[in-house]
Amino acid sequence: MKEIIITTQFKAFDAIEDLPNDIQNLMGQAVEIRKKAYAPYSKFRVGAALLLDNGKIVLGSNQENAAYPSGLCAERVAIFHAGAVYPEAKILKMAITAASDTNTTSTPIPPCGSCRQSIAEYEIRQETPIEIYFMGEIGTIYKSESLKNLLPFMFDKKYL
């Protein structure tokens, strides 16, 4: 038997004001779109903002449905919209924020597993890492240089 050790590395920012200006703007847009999420069941609102290499910013918020699991997470709403409207553009940066209607979220909340797989598909396809910034409603923001930090064993087309 052989033991495999995998390490990941993140940067942590104490507040939105500590982020670079372009990321402050991106996270600010994620916060605003988060407020428009349709989350009547979970009461958990998520907003995502993508910066594309063509300079466009694409937004997404989670959209729930009484017939689970028919809803869609904010990250996938934004990614799929970008893929449909700007199919040749690369996703450079992603800002994600999550908040609960019932309590304050103060720890960084990463993308769920389904979203990680969807982000992986685009990162692998475009052959360029996607910087991912994620936070709760308030508090620390984590930065990952690539989805590989969040999903070190990515499943992609080479396994098919």
Whether the Cβ atoms of residue 136 and residue 97 lie closer than 8 Å to each other = yes
Q: Which of 3, 17, 32, 75 is catalytic?
A: 75
* pLDDT at 158 (0 to 100): 83
- Establish whether 75 is a catalytic residue: yes
Whether the Cβ atoms of residue 91 and residue 69 lie closer than 8 Å to each other = no
Q: Does the annotation list 112 as a binding residue?
A: yes
pLDDT in tens, 61-101: 999 999 988 899 999 999 999 999 999 999 999 999 999 99
Could you tell me if residue 20 is left (phi over 0), alpha (psi between -120 and 50 degrees) or otherwise beta? beta
Give pTM, 2 decimals. 0.95
Q: Does the annotation list 145 as a binding residue?
A: no
CATH 3.40.140.10 is right for the domain spanning 11-151: yes
Q: Does the annotation list 54 as a binding residue?
A: no
Q: Does the annotation list 126 as a binding residue?
A: no
* pLDDT at 55 (0 to 100): 98
Q: Does the annotation list 103 as a binding residue?
A: no
pLDDT confidence band for 159 (50 / 70 / 90): confident
Burial of 100: CB neighbours in 10 Å, binned 0-12, 13-18, 19+: middle
Share of the chain above pLDDT 70, in %: 100
Q: Does the annotation list 68 as a binding residue?
A: yes
pLDDT in tens, 90-128: 999 999 999 999 999 999 999 999 999 999 999 999 999
